[in-house]
Every structure is written in structure tokens, then in C-alpha cells.
């Protein structure tokens, strides 16, 4: 039991080190969370106690994980409750190690013969349609061959570490084409990794998918939210979505079918994503998420730690612009040192912690000397919050002997959007976060599987977006949309019709979104 937990912790720590060596800092931080959980006595000790009383090892791990996951799942913050999935993912890996050891095999990522084992363990452990608690999946014994060609990974809870490993395995003819998760949502770690890798992923799938036979043809349409197993007319080409697309972008600029100019930027959290976005034609980074590498942190990041994350991304932009968002420790991105009932998190925690904001601002200015950099404040609800950030930014820039960079705010709270004109004189730009804004307006939890980008097409959401665009125009400041709705083929034309002319989308979506813009005609059309 101890060896199995240690092996999982060691495996994830090693993968994290490899990711760091490749400059993929954000993915490394996510994988490291699994290593910390595997090394935590809170999960190991109850499992050891159970086997000492004669319990089956697999059941002992499963029950210990279920107990820990239940504690997390019961937290009042639904986004934070999704972290229960991290515990279950580690437990599944430990079970795979136990079964592999029992069969004399190497564990969850290989067969007894040492070959690829994406869909089975050395002992025939949980396949992609089975869970850690459910024993062997339909793939059956360890002799099941690895998949040939593209395959879709299906799990009760998709493990981000497994997703990264399979996506970069390059073993034989097996190619990871997408993933399906019964648990989790669009803000889960696995979903973040999938977006960065450019992989389609369906979260919140019908649990009956776990009963589907493995090895059968299937079509994953993540846009429609469908996994079709044994389709009447198989379309193998429909599974392959990673082919390069011809992009109509030129330095981030694309024109609609009737000549309107639109700027396309990319959302990133790592150097790899930034490289992918720029290669697709993005004109720069419209949203750099700085909190992702620190979601497992035990304290506020230091200036040097911020620099280690920012420098590889900003220096790789070749002088193109970047909008760097301040730490947004909210939702399922609340690190351990901020977790706990009654404790402040998000912007309030950042502004209240001694030098937490100053350390990040100094790092942003130092790392961004090679190109235009702007600062973005998340989840703003009051003018006082903006004033505090503006003051510290001026002090940090003055100490560095440079002019302060532009300062903008995320418009992702309904009340802030409704008062957009009151913020117009305080900032240099608005960045509309449609994910949180739509959920706030419609009263939907962001962790809900139904919280999809298409919600921004609701007339109530569109009305507030139009209000923000108009307020920005009257104040003479720039307005962009950085939420996932900008990469939704049904919502994007509506945003353009409302006057949005700068969007920022997931790095892998840049070429496709540019094609949609080029095919859209705006003038002469009414917007609902």
C-alpha cells in the first residue's frame, strides 16, 4: 500500500519535472497537486488502517478516497467542491499500481510486457469505461491490445496527469483525439489542460457512457456536447480535430465578409499555449491567467516565483502585446492556504495580504520589458478596488523608473456590467468575461455542466454586454471579450453585431474562430 502511494506520488512528480523542463509550467503545477495528494497521510492512513483489519486493498483505497472526496464535495463553494475529483483520480492511480504490482507489471501506464497500456493496467484494471471502485472495465484482462489510430479517453473523472501523458505519448499508432468525463465541469483542471492542448473534451457526460463497450467506433462532438458510440454511419475523420487550419489572420487582424476589422488574441496560462496561439495567427495574448500555476500553493507567490512563470511566456511573444490578469484565486482555483470557511479569497484576499499585489506587479513589469504589457484586475465589484490597484501600480512603476502600463478590469459581475459607465473613467479598457457574467446574470453555478458558453446568447446577457460596449465607447476606452462565448459559433456573430471588435479565445481555437469571423456578415443584420 505504501509503495503504491509512493509510486503514484513519484510518477506525478517526475511528470511535473518533465513538463517544467519543456516550459509547460501551468501543466506542471496541476500535475504536482496529484503528487501532493498521493503523499498526504489523510488519504494513506485510513487505507492502511482498513487493510490492517483485513479489508481488501482496493476497497480500502476506494473507501478512503470516497470519504475525503465527500468532505470536499460538501463544501458550500460548488467550484471548490470539484476538487473532490482530484482525490478520486489519485485513488484510481493507486488502485492501478496495486493491481499492477499484484500481476508483476509496472503499473497504470504500461502492461505486464512493458507496452503501452492506455486502456488497461497490467492486471486488467479500470479501463476508460470503468471506475476505480468498479473494478476492471469492459476492456477486461491485461492482454487487451492498445488502441490503433485515434481514441477517445472516457473516465468517471478525467485525470489531468493522464491526459497530459497520453496526449504526449506518441506511442505507435495510438493518438489521443479527445476525452469524456462524467464528473467535473468546464473549470476543472482536466478541462483547463484539455483546452491548452487543443483537445475536445466533454464534461458532465451521462453516467451511462461508463457502460458502453470499449474499443467501439465513436464520434465526439464537444461543441454539440455529444459522444455517439457505434454511430449508424461511422465518420472516422470526424474524430480527428487536431489538423492544422488555414487561418485568414494577418498579425491578429481578420475582416468579416463585409469588411469589418476584428482583432483576435489568445487566452493562455503557459508558454506552450502562447506558442500555439501565435502560430495560429493570434495578435498577442488577450488573457494571461497567472493563478493556474499556483492553485496548489501553500502561501502567496513571491516575486521570483511570479517571474519564473511569466518570463517564459512574455519573452516568447516576440514583442506582441499581452494582458496579464492578476491572481484570481476563486472558484475551484482557491489554493490550500486560502481555503476555509469565512476566509477571504479572490481579489479581496489579494488586496488584503501584505505585499501580495506588489510582488506580482513588480514581476509583471520586470518580465514584460520586452513588449507592451497591460494589467487586468479580475472580479471587480467596486471603484475602490480599482483605485487600490492603480495606486500600487503607479508606486511600483515609479520605483522602477518607468511609466505605468495600462490597467483594465474584468467585467464578469452583473452589477459591475450594469454600472460600466462608472468605471469608464477609472480604467484604460474593459475585458468582458462571459463565463462568469452569464452565470451571474442567469443565476447558474459555473460548476453546473449546463454552464456552457452558449448561455451568453440569452437576451439578458446580451443586453448587459451591449451596455458595457456602449459605456466603453462613450468613455473612449477599448473593450474586448475574453470569455469562451467568443469561441462559440452561435454567440460570436451576436457579439460582433453588438459592436465587439476585439476577442480573445483559447489558443487552439484561434484559426477556427478567425475562419468564422471571415465568413460572418455584420452590416444590415438585426441582432436579437
Is there a contact between 15 and 165 (Cβ–Cβ < 8 Å)? yes
Strands 284-289 and 261-268: parallel
27 vs 32: CA distance, rounded Å: 9
Residue 499 belongs to domain spanning: 253-518
What confidence tens digit (pLDDT) does each residue in 55-64 have?
A: 778 878 888 8
pLDDT at 82 over 50: yes
Q: Domain with 194 in it: what CATH number?
A: 3.50.30.10
490 part of the active site? no
Q: Edge-to-edge strand order for the sheet containing 201-203?
A: 150-155, 175-181, 201-203
Among this protein's residues, is 482 annotated catalytic? yes
- Regarding whether 64 and 23 lie in a shared domain, the answer is yes
Please tell me whether residue 403 adopts helix, strand or coil conformation.
coil
Locus of grid cell 476543472: 188
Phi first, then psi: what are they for 83, rounded to 5°? -65, -15
CA distances from 34 to 16, 88, 165, 190 (A): 10, 10, 14, 12
Q: What is the mean pLDDT of residues 292-319?
A: 90
C-alpha pair distances (Å), 69 with each of 73, 83, 115, 133, 241: 6, 8, 32, 13, 34
Q: Is residue 139 part of a domain?
A: no
Q: To the nearest whole percent, how much of the chain has pLDDT over 70?
A: 82
- Name the residue with cell 473532490: 84
**Is the separation of the CB atoms in 38 and 8 below 8 Å?**
yes
Given phi > 0 = left and psi -120 to 50 = alpha, else beta, which region is 215? left
Nearest to 324 by CA among 349, 291, 279, 298: 291
Picking from 201, 217, 242, the residue at the C-terminal end of a domain is 242
pLDDT of 358 strictly over 60: yes
- Has residue 318 been placed in a domain? yes
Mean pLDDT (whole number) for 252-257? 94
Is residue 222 located within the same domain as residue 353?
no
Predicted local distance difference test score (pLDDT) of residue 426: 96
Domain count for the chain: 3
Alpha carbon 365 to chain centroid distance? 25
Residue 351 maps to a domain? yes
Q: Residue 168: what pLDDT?
A: 62
Residues 6+ positions from 31 with CB-CB distance below 8 Å: 12, 15, 16, 19, 160, 161, 164
Cell of 453: 458558453
Q: Quick one: pLDDT band at residue 54, thresholds 50, 70, 90?
A: confident
**Among candidates 41, 38, 154, which has minimal Cα distance to 87?**
38
Domain assignment present for 433:
yes
- Considering the domain architecture, whether residues 310 and 286 belong to the same structural domain is answered as yes
Per-residue confidence at 101, pLDDT binned at 50, 70, 90?
Answer: low
Catalytic residue among 306, 467, 482, 490: 482
Assigned domain for 125 exists: no
Do 314 and 408 fall into the same domain?
yes
Same domain for 278 and 358?
Answer: yes
* Shared domain check, 158 and 101: no
Question: pLDDT-derived band of residue 76, with 50, 70 and 90 as boundaries?
Answer: low
Nine-digit cell at 146?
492498445
Residue-wise pLDDT tens digits, 131-150: 222 333 322 222 234 466 78
Residues 169 and 265 both lie in one domain: no
- Greatest mean pLDDT among 68-72, 241-245, 274-278 lies in 274-278
Of 59, 86, 109, the residue at which a domain comes to its end is 109
Strand partners for 102: none
Distance from chain centroid for Cα 274: 14
pLDDT above 80 (res 208): yes
Threshold 0.75, pTM exceeds: no
CATH of the domain at 92: 1.10.274
* Residue 1 grid cell: 500500500
Give 118: exposed, middle or buried? Use CB within 10 Å, 0-12, 13-18, 19+.
buried
pLDDT at site 239: 42
Selecting among 27, 189, 266, 439, the annotated active-site residue is: 189
Q: Identify the band that residue 30 occupies on the pLDDT scale cut at 50, 70 and 90.
A: confident
251 conformational bin, left if phi > 0, alpha if psi -120 to 50, beta if neither: left
In whole angstroms, what is the distance from residue 512 CA to residue 525 CA?
23
Closest CA to 100 of 7, 197, 177, 184: 7
Domain boundary pick from 242, 266, 283: 242
**In this structure, are 262 and 320 located in the same domain?**
yes
Length, in residues, of the chain = 528
Average pLDDT over residues 386-395: 97
Radius of gyration of the chain (CA): 23
Average pLDDT over the chain, rounded to an integer? 81
Q: Is residue 126 part of a domain?
A: no
Question: Would you say residue 528 lies in a domain?
Answer: no
Based on the domain organization, do 301 and 418 belong to the same domain?
yes
Q: Are residues 308 and 376 in the same domain?
A: yes
230 and 309 inside one domain = no
- How would residue 484 be classed by pLDDT, with cut points 50, 70 and 90? confident
Alpha-carbon distance 270 to 266, whole Å? 11
Q: Are both 276 and 392 inside the same structural domain?
A: yes
Mean pLDDT of 179-196: 77
CA distance 135 to 137: 6
Domain CATH for 335:
3.20.20.60
Rounded distance, CA 3 to CA 12, Å? 14
252: left (phi over 0), alpha (psi -120 to 50) or beta: left
306 part of a folded domain? yes
Amino acid at each position: 500500500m505504501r509503495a503504491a502511494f509512493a509510486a503514484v506520488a513519484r510518477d506525478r512528480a517526475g511528470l511535473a519535472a518533465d513538463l517544467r523542463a519543456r516550459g509547460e509550467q501551468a501543466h506542471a503545477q496541476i500535475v504536482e497537486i496529484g503528487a501532493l495528494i498521493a503523499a498526504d497521510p489523510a488519504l494513506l492512513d485510513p487505507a492502511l488502517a482498513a487493510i490492517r483489519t483485513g479489508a481488501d486493498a482496493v476497497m480500502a483505497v476506494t473507501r478512503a478516497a470516497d470519504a475525503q472526496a465527500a468532505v470536499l464535495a460538501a463544501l458550500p463553494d460548488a467550484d471548490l467542491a470539484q476538487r473532490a475529483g482530484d482525490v478520486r483520480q489519485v485513488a484510481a492511480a493507486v488502485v492501478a499500481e496495486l493491481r499492477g504490482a499484484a500481476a508483476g507489471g509496472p503499473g497504470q501506464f504500461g502492461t505486464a510486457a512493458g507496452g503501452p497500456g492506455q486502456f488497461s493496467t497490467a492486471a486488467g484494471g479500470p479501463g476508460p469505461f470503468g471506475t476505480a471502485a468498479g473494478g476492471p472495465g469492459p476492456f477486461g484482462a491485461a492482454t487487451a491490445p492498445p488502441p490503433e489510430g485515434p481514441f477517445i479517453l472516457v473516465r468517471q473523472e478525467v485525470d489531468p496527469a493522464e491526459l497530459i501523458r497520453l496526449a504526449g505519448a506518441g506511442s505507435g499508432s495510438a493518438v489521443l483525439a479527445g476525452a469524456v468525463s462524467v464528473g467535473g465541469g468546464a473549470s476543472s483542471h482536466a478541462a483547463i489542460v484539455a483546452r491548452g492542448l487543443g483537445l475536445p473534451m466533454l464534461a458532465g457526460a451521462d453516467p451511462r457512457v461508463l457502460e458502453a463497450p470499449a474499443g467501439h467506433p465513436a464520434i465526439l462532438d464537444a461543441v454539440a456536447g455529444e459522444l455517439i458510440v457505434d454511430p449508424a454511419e461511422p465518420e472516422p475523420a470526424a474524430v480527428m480535430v487536431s489538423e492544422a487550419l488555414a487561418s485568414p489572420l494577418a498579425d491578429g487582424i481578420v475582416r468579416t465578409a463585409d469588411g469589418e476589422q476584428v482583432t483576435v488574441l489568445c487566452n493562455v496560462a503557459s508558454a506552450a499555449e502562447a506558442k500555439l496561439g501565435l502560430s495560429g495567427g493570434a495578435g498577442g495574448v488577450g488573457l494571461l491567467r497567472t493563478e493556474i500555476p499556483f492553485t496548489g500553493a501553500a502561501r502567496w507567490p513571491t516575486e521570483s516565483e511570479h517571474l519564473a512563470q511569466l518570463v517564459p511566456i512574455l519573452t516568447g511573444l516576440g514583442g506582441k502585446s499581452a494582458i496579464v490578469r492578476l491572481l484570481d484565486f476563486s472558484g475551484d482555483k482557491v489554493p490550500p492556504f486560502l481555503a476555509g470557511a469565512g476566509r477571504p479569497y479572490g481579489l479581496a484576499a489579494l488586496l488584503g495580504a501584505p505585499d501580495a499585489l506588489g510582488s506580482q506587479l513588480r514581476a509583471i513589469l520586470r518580465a514584460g520589458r520586452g513588449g507592451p504589457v497591460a494589467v487586468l484586475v479580475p472580479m471587480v465589484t467596486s471603484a475602490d478596488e480599482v483605485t487600490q490597484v492603480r495606486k500600487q501600480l503607479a508606486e511600483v512603476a515609479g520605483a522602477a523608473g518607468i511609466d505605468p502600463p495600462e490597467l483594465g478590469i474584468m467585467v464578469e459581475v452583473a452589477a459591475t456590467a450594469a454600472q460600466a459607465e462608472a468605471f469608464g473613467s477609472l480604467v484604460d479598457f474593459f475585458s468582458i468575461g462571459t463565463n462568469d457574467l452569464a452565470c451571474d446574470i442567469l443565476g447558474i453555478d459555473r460548476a453546473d455542466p449546463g454552464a456552457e458558453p452558449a448561455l451568453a446568447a440569452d437576451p439578458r446577457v446580451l443586453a448587459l454586454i451591449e451596455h458595457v460596449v456602449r459605456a466603453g465607447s462613450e468613455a473612449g476606452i477599448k473593450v474586448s471579450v475574453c470569455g469562451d462565448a467568443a469561441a462559440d459559433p452561435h454567440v460570436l456573430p451576436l457579439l460582433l453585431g453588438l459592436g465587439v471588435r476585439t476577442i480573445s479565445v483559447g489558443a487552439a481555437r484561434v484559426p477556427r474562430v478567425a475562419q468564422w469571423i471571415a465568413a460572418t456578415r455584420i452590416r444590415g443584420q438585426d441582432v436579437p
